[in-house]
Each structure stands twice: as C-alpha cells, then as structure tokens.
C-alpha cells in the first residue's frame, strides 16, 4: 500500500466528519502497470485512495497546503503535461469502475452525487449512473485470471448497491481503462450498459437502492455535448465520451441506425 502523510489523512477525515460523513475502509486494487499482455496489480485500500488521488488538491490545513504540494514532484504539478507513472509510490492509483447507462433508443442517463459523498471530494456535476472503487478481493485472484471478468463482477456489485436493476433488464459491456488527469492519473474502468427500463422505472429503482443517499435529485436524461460540458463532473463526461464511441462502433442503444 502506498504511504501517505498521516496528518493529511487525519485532516481530511475531520473535514468529512464535519459534514456528517464517516467513510468506511475496505479493500481496493492498485494498478502498478498496464501493457498489451498484462495488468500488474497490488493490494490496497479505500482510505489510501481517499487521502491521495481523490483529495490531491483539497486544502487540508489553514496554510492551504495540499497533498500534491507536499509530494513536491515535478510530474505531479498541474501544469506538467504528462501523467505520473502508475507505479508512483506516493499515490494509491486504485482502480475505479463506472458505467454509462443508455436506454434502448439512445437515452443517456446521468445522476448527481450528493455534496457530502466521500468519492466526490472537490468535484461537482453530473456523474455516471453508478461508479465507485472496484470492490475485488485481492486474495481471490487466480493465476492467469482475466482481470476484466473480476472488474465486470465488481461493476455489477456497484450497480446492485446504487441502481439495482433487474439482471434481465440490462446488458453490461466493458469499454476501456482510462486515467483521470485531475486526480494525477487515477485509473478507471469504464463500462456501458443498455437497459430496457424506462426513465420512470429507473427513478423508482433508485429510490429503493441501498446507497440512495449518495445521490440527490432525479436521474437526468441529457445528451452530452461541448456546449453543456460545464454541467458534468469529469468522470461523467468521460463515461459519456467513451460510451458513445463504443455504442456507435457496435450499433448499440440506437446508435448507427
């Protein structure tokens, strides 16, 4: 697990406690490297992610110092035009999962995270229908096992907690792994899903979700475009960008017809 400065983490926990949030630690996967042939992973945890990549630019002290400033590394400077290596020891670089949800006629469904959601540190706007840390038991990996299978299962678990659609009402597709610039290259596995549920049905499902309090307002059906980019969190816009391309190539959700 990457090291991080305890004082920054303690200050961040205090900020979250002040707004009524008490995050729970849990297992996570740290991506060390990715090549055409393999993905190298290490065991990590959610607190490590929370205190490094997610809060990289959140002022944690009265001096307004941030974790990025504390690391004092040139490739972590916001003006530096390349990503730090995934093996960067000062960052958790844990893998997240996110799904772009489409209706069968090309509807694009987004949501708004509650301002107190711990995984929305320092970010606001429309987000994918479901997203979060990939909850995978590191000890359960078998030699030669495809990581995409484990991450698909992790995505399904996340959907079950945040938008528990009936399994025969949506089809899930793995799309790509990308890295988020604003979080110093934190990796994210993007999926897209096509559902036969209507918007009204999805809103009813959302009201019964285990983690319904992580979101606020209704599910939003909106077409992503450069003119409304400011309405989106970076994760939401990226999910739509990759999802649209995948659907067009594969003639899904009304694309290409």
How confident is the prediction for the chain on average, in pLDDT? 85
Output the pLDDT for position 129: 95
pLDDT band for position 220 (50/70/90)? very high
pLDDT at 197 over 80: yes
Cα-Cα-Cα-Cα torsion 157, 148, 191, 209, nearest 10 degrees, comes to: 0
Specify the residue for token string 């995270």. Answer: 113
Which of 177, 207, 171 minimizes the C-alpha distance to 190? 177
pLDDT at 117 over 60: no
pLDDT at 96 over 90: yes
CB 183, CB 211: distance < 8 Å: no
Output the pLDDT for position 115: 63
Cα–Cα distance between 246 and 47 in angstroms, integer? 32
Q: What is the mean pLDDT of residues 195-211?
A: 95
Q: What is the mean pLDDT of residues 192-219?
A: 92
Encode pLDDT of 18-76 as tens digits: 877 778 888 888 999 988 888 888 888 888 888 888 878 877 666 667 778 777 677 77
Q: Taking the domains of the chain in order of start, what are their residue ranges?
A: 6-250
Output the pLDDT for position 181: 83
What residues pair up with 133 in beta bridges, in sequence order?
96
Listing DSSP states for 23-72 in one string gives ----EEEEEEEE-SS-EEEEEEEHHHHHHTTTTTT---STT---HHHHH-
pLDDT at 1 over 50: no
CB 253, CB 247: distance < 8 Å: yes
**Helices (H), ranges, 66-219:** 67-71, 147-162, 199-207
Output the pLDDT for position 103: 96
Q: What is the mean pLDDT of residues 146-164?
A: 92
Cα–Cα distance between 203 and 198 in angstroms, integer? 9
CB 2, CB 44: distance < 8 Å: yes
Total residue length of the chain: 257
Q: Above pLDDT 90, what percent of the chain?
A: 40
Output the pLDDT for position 249: 95
Output the pLDDT for position 116: 56
Output the pLDDT for position 2: 40
CATH architecture for segment(s) 6-250: Alpha-Beta Complex (3.90)
pLDDT at 3 over 60: no
Output the pLDDT for position 48: 86
Of the ranges 8-22, 110-124, 127-141, which one carries the lowest mean pLDDT score? 110-124
């Amino acid at each position: 697990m990457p090291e991080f400065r305890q004082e920054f983490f303690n200050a961040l926990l205090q900020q979250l406690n002040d707004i009524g949030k008490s995050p729970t630690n849990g297992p996570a996967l740290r991506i060390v490297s990715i090549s055409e042939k393999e993905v190298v992973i290490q065991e990590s945890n959610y607190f490590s992610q929370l205190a490094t990549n997610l809060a990289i630019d959140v002022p944690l002290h009265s001096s307004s110092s941030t974790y990025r400033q504390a690391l004092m590394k040139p490739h972590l400077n916001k003006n530096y035009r390349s990503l730090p290596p995934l093996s960067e020891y000062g960052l958790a670089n844990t893998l997240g999962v996110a799904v772009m949800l489409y209706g069968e006629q090309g509807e694009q469904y987004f949501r708004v995270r509650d301002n107190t959601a711990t995984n929305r540190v320092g970010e606001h706007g429309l987000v994918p229908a479901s997203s979060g840390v990939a909850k995978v038991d590191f000890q359960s990996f078998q030699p030669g096992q495809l990581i995409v299978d484990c991450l698909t299962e992790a995505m399904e678990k996340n959907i079950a907690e945040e938008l528990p659609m009936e399994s025969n009402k949506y089809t899930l597709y793995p799309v790509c792994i990308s890295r988020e610039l604003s979080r110093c290259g934190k990796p994210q596995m993007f999926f897209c899903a096509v559902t036969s549920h209507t918007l009204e049905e999805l809103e009813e499902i959302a009201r019964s979700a285990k983690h319904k309090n992580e979101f606020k307002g209704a599910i939003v059906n909106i077409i992503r475009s450069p003119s409304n980019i400011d309405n989106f969190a970076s994760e939401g816009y990226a999910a739509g960008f990759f999802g649209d391309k995948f659907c067009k190539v594969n003639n899904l959700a009304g694309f290409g017809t």
